[in-house]
């Protein structure tokens, strides 16, 4: 069971999940717990010989009921591969799986914020190579969505809507300009190749999306992921996070759709590479002051990313 | 797709719920032996859906059906 402690100086929660210290760490190919269970072989997390997409409670959870949730989303039963390499229809189904988990977890009284994410690459701490993502159901509103809510107030409306309007008007950092989904390197990107993928229409969460928008979201995310791999011609590490509306209302718990719906569905990628071989580390300024110092300009990395996406398509 | 457990000891006498749907997904819930939840998602195929499959989905289906069983 995890313990929450409030850091008064920073005004944020810290989660102690000491049981995670012993979690499975980079097992060899033959002992992947996310593979399907081979007939006669050792049992994995999915006791079936094949599957399409699987979701299960994390064996080493940071959160668990009645204090939140931690789930693993296994994209495919194929050990080798990546999100970007999934078939188009498979990736589209993954969007529906995300939507289903958001709806179910968000309806729980002990989940205030549903965060769907993927850590890709040992550079960002991946402990299992099988293509998968995770979902945390936070029993509180974490700092980042709280900051996004504050941005709504500061900008007098939906902040991602306003920022998308500015990016479209500027155009210099756009990566993919689709009718339903837009990808761009943000004006104030913190990471060299950071990119945001935003719904063009105001959609607080996956629940409000039309089926064609989910399809477009999958296509855009995959195009970007493949572009990342083409950028330095190597598997590109990243943290991919789906940002959606919090699932708790101001006055208490409420199901998605019934509470205040601040938020705008968008997906942010935080890649740690600043060159093909060099990593960006969070050091003095980033950790001590909370201020990122970047070695690159978003306008320049956007050009490189656009070219890479074109090469990969 | 086969849904027979590969290991007879699992899911440990837990319940398996089949038949739930969500959009284009078929959902099967399985209680793992240690009590944790496992949800299996797959493509739901209502009558007539085959005709509406897109090219990508048809290619993916062919690819999957053509692979060797594990």
- Report how many Cβ contacts below 8 Å link chain A to chain B: 108
How many residues can be counted in chain B?
70
pLDDT digits (tens, 9 = 90+) for A139-160: 999 999 999 999 999 999 999 9
Report pLDDT for B4: 46
ipTM of the complex: 0.92
Query: Is the model more confident about A130 or about A258?
Result: A130
Task: State the DSSP H helix or E strand holding residue A96, giving kind and residue range, or none if neither.
Answer: helix A88-106
Q: What are the tokens at B67?
A: 């692979």
Q: What are the tokens at A78?
A: 């194929």
Report pLDDT for B46: 65
What angle (nearest 5°) sits at the alpha carbon of residue A192, between those of residues A220 and A233? 65
pLDDT digits (tens, 9 = 90+) for A159-202: 999 999 999 999 999 999 999 999 999 999 999 999 999 999 99
Report pLDDT for B65: 43
pLDDT digits (tens, 9 = 90+) for A54-93: 999 999 999 999 999 999 999 999 999 999 999 999 999 9
Report pLDDT for B70: 30
Q: What are the tokens at A63?
A: 């959160």
Residue B33 burial by Cβ neighbours in a 10 Å radius (0-12, 13-18, 19+) = middle
pLDDT digits (tens, 9 = 90+) for A297-306: 999 999 999 9
Rounded-to-integer distance, Cα A262 and Cα A244, Å: 9
Nearest CA in chain A to B53: A89
Catalytic residue flag (residue A132) = yes
Q: Which of A129, A130, A132, A243 is catalytic?
A: A132
Report pLDDT for A250: 38
Interface of chain B against chain A, CB under 8 Å? 1-7, 9-11, 22-25, 27, 30, 32, 36-43, 53-54, 56-57, 59-60, 63, 69-70
pLDDT digits (tens, 9 = 90+) for B13-56: 345 666 799 999 999 999 998 999 999 999 997 655 444 444 44
Binned at pLDDT 50, 70 and 90, residue A254 comes out as: very low
Judged against a pLDDT cut of 60, whether residue A280 lies above it is answered with yes
Residues 6+ apart with CB under 8 A from A307: none
Q: What is the mean pLDDT of chain A?
A: 93
Binned at pLDDT 50, 70 and 90, residue B6 comes out as: very low
User: Which residues in chain B are closer than 8 Å to A99, comparing Cβ atoms?
Assistant: 22-23
Measured in degrees and rounded to the nearest 5, phi and psi for residue A39 equal -55, 125
Burial A55-75 (b: 16+ CB within 10 A, else e): bbbbbebbbbeebbbbbbbbb
pTM of the predicted model, to two decimals? 0.88
């Amino acid at each position: 069971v995890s313990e929450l402690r409030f850091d008064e100086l920073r005004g944020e929660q810290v989660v102690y999940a000491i049981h995670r210290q012993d979690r499975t760490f980079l097992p060899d190919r033959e002992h992947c717990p996310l593979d399907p269970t081979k007939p006669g072989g050792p049992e994995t997390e999915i006791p079936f010989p094949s599957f399409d997409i699987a979701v299960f409670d994390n064996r080493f959870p940071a959160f668990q009921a009645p204090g939140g949730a931690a789930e693993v989303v296994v994209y495919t039963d194929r050990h080798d591969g990546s999100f970007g390499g999934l078939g188009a229809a498979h990736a589209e189904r993954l969007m529906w799986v995300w939507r289903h988990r958001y709806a179910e977890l968000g309806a729980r009284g002990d989940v205030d914020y549903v965060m769907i994410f993927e850590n890709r690459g040992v550079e960002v701490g991946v402990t299992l190579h099988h293509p998968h993502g995770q979902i945390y159901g936070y029993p509180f509103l974490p700092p980042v969505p709280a900051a996004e809510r504050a941005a709504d107030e500061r900008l007098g409306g939906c902040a991602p809507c306003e920022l998308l309007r500015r990016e479209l008007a500027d155009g210099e950092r756009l990566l993919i300009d689709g009718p339903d989904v837009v990808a761009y390197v943000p004006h104030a990107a913190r990471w060299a190749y950071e990119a945001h993928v935003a719904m063009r229409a105001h959609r607080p969460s996956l629940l409000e999306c039309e089926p064609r928008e989910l399809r477009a979201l999958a296509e855009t995310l995959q195009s970007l992921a493949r572009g990342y791999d083409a950028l330095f011609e190597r598997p590109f590490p990243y943290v991919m996070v789906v940002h959606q509306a919090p699932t708790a209302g101001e006055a208490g718990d409420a199901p998605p759709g019934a509470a205040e719906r601040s938020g705008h569905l968008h997906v942010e990628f935080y890649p740690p590479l600043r060159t093909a071989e060099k990593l960006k580390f969070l050091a003095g300024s980033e950790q001590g002051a909370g201020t990122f110092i970047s070695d690159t300009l978003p306008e320049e990395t956007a050009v490189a990313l656009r070219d890479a996406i074109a090469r990969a398509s | 797709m086969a849904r027979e457990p590969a290991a007879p000891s699992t899911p440990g006498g837990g319940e398996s719920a089949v038949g739930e749907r969500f959009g284009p997904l078929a959902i099967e819930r399985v209680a793992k032996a240690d009590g944790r939840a496992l949800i299996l998602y797959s493509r739901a195929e209502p009558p007539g859906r085959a005709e509406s499959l897109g090219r990508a989905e048809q290619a993916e289906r062919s690819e999957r059906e053509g692979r060797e069983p594990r």
